[in-house]
């Protein structure tokens, strides 16, 4: 997957794939008829990698506050991509690479993302509208795409640690991006102020096998991450 993520489908050769896997091209073709078959297998793996990643969000009751918290959690996930596993970082790179090629991975990834989070977004967006917290008549689908595209694009920038010089912390950046998305969805400023309390939201610890870059050695940050997580939970409680 890292090869396709860095060089794209057309720029990656079967020889390079075999060398990266430390096998012969002959053995590679024994399992995959051609490069397309291997690429399709990678797409299937990425699509089904962790279908329950955002399942906990579905347990929250539909409301404006839940809409805000859901956007916050998703924004946090994308903005902390460099603190996650090499596979997750490669998946993000593959998504961006696919945008300038055939778009096949993008289509499948967006379909899987929509399937995972759209039901909760829809319920909470409808609840926010029923509460009078949404201006305008933007559809739920458009609201989802606005959120998803901005999150994914910011995740792409996060891979290269690109952000404004005056951003003090990831939490601050997540909160500002979340408010921006909520306003784009039509949620009123008054509702955002009332319902969105980022300081009370406890995000799950990131992958304990996190590394700082795709090619960096693995670094066990589990103790540090869990300590920060427990400290934040204690402050919220």
Q: What is the pLDDT of residues 62-105, one digit of tens each?
A: 999 999 999 999 999 899 888 887 777 878 888 888 888 778 77
Do residue 183 and residue 226 come from a single domain? yes
Do residue 226 and residue 138 come from a single domain? yes
pLDDT at 140: 93
With 50 as the cut, is the pLDDT of residue 213 above it? no
Do residue 177 and residue 207 come from a single domain? yes
Do residue 39 and residue 154 come from a single domain? no
Do residue 113 and residue 26 come from a single domain? no
Domain residues for the domain of 2 are 1-48
Contacts of 39 (CB under 8 A, 6+ apart): 4, 9
Contacts of 208 (CB under 8 A, 6+ apart): 220, 221, 222, 225, 226
Question: How many Cα atoms are found within 13 Å in the side-chain-facing hemisphere of 65?
Answer: 9
Residue where one domain finishes, among candidates 48, 68, 83: 48
Task: Give the best-scoring range by mean pLDDT among 2-16, 68-82, 180-194.
Answer: 180-194
Do residue 118 and residue 85 come from a single domain? yes
pLDDT at 128: 97
Do residue 78 and residue 43 come from a single domain? no
Do residue 116 and residue 210 come from a single domain? yes
pLDDT at 4: 64
Residue where one domain finishes, among candidates 13, 33, 48: 48
What average pLDDT does the chain have?
Answer: 79
pLDDT at 231: 56
Question: What CATH number is attached to the domain comprising 114?
Answer: 1.10.357
pTM metric for this prediction: 0.72
Q: How confident is the model at residue 112 (pLDDT cuts 50, 70, 90)?
A: confident
Distance CA(31)–CA(90), nearest Å, equals 22
Do residue 19 and residue 78 come from a single domain? no
Do residue 38 and residue 71 come from a single domain? no
Question: What CATH number is attached to the domain comprising 6?
Answer: 1.10.10.60
Contacts of 89 (CB under 8 A, 6+ apart): 81, 82, 159, 211, 213, 214
pLDDT at 96: 85
Domains held by the chain: number: 2
Do residue 135 and residue 28 come from a single domain? no
Lowest pLDDT segment from 117-121, 193-197, 203-207: 203-207
With 70 as the cut, is the pLDDT of residue 7 above it? no
pLDDT at 187: 97
Do residue 109 and residue 124 come from a single domain? yes
């Amino acid at each position: 997957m890292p090869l396709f993520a860095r060089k794209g489908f057309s720029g990656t050769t079967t020889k390079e794939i075999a060398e990266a896997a430390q096998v012969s091209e002959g053995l590679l073709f024994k399992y995959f008829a051609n490069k397309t078959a291997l690429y399709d297998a990678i797409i299937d793996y990425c699509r089904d990698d962790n279908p329950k990643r955002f399942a906990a969000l579905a347990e929250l009751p539909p409301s404006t506050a839940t809409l805000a918290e859901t956007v916050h959690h998703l924004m946090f996930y994308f903005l902390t991509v460099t603190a996650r596993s090499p596979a997750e970082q490669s998946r993000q790179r593959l998504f961006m690479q696919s945008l300038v090629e055939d778009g096949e991975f993008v289509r499948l990834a967006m379909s899987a993302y929509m399937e995972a989070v759209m039901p909760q977004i829809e319920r909470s967006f409808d609840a926010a509208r029923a509460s009078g917290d949404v201006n305008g008549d933007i559809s739920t689908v458009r609201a989802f795409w606005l959120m998803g595209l901005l999150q994914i694009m910011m995740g792409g920038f996060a891979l290269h640690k690109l952000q404004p010089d005056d951003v003090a912390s990831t939490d601050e950046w997540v909160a500002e991006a979340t408010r921006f998305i909520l306003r784009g969805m039509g949620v009123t400023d008054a509702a955002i102020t009332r319902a969105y309390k980022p300081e009370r939201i406890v995000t799950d610890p990131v992958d304990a096998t996190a590394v700082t870059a795709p090619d960096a050695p693995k670094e066990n940050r589990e103790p540090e991450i869990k300590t920060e997580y427990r400290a934040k939970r204690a402050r919220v409680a």
